[in-house]
Amino acid sequence: MPETVVIRARRETRDLLHDLARADGATAIDMLERLIRETAEARLRRAVASDLSSPAATEPEPAVWDASLADGLNQDEDFASWR
């Protein structure tokens, strides 16, 4: 069994945690771990969604375009034979 520690909580919080766990047929420890994991995942999803909706996310950095221009390929070369 993994090591456990005592976490201080208000009595109402502890009772609510036990009620949630009981309703799901889980232990209080499992429910607490699940709630924390779900909260962390939700925060990550919100952060990613926020980043993707920012104007900077839809406009590539100039350095990205510069790298593609400096890829070493000759712009005048016919690449049709490569297919």
Q: Whole domain around residue 21: which residue ranges?
A: 11-67
Q: Residue 17 domain-assigned?
A: yes
Q: How confident is the model at residue 61 (pLDDT cuts 50, 70, 90)?
A: low
Q: Number of structural domains, the chain?
A: 1
In a domain, 33, yes or no: yes
Mean pLDDT of 75-79: 71
70: pLDDT confidence band, cut at 50, 70 and 90? low
Q: Is 77 within a domain?
A: no
48 vs 43: CA distance, rounded Å: 9
For residue 11, CA distances in Å to 3, 7, 15, 33 come to: 23, 12, 6, 18
Between CA 83 and CA 73 the distance in angstroms is: 16
Residue 36 lies in a domain: yes
Rounded distance, CA 3 to CA 27, Å?
Answer: 16
Tell me the average pLDDT across 56-64. Answer: 64
Q: Is residue 74 part of a domain?
A: no
pLDDT of 76 higher than 80? no
- Residue 48: the pLDDT is 87
In a domain, 1, yes or no: no
- Any domain includes 50: yes
* Domain-located, residue 43: yes
pTM as predicted: 0.59
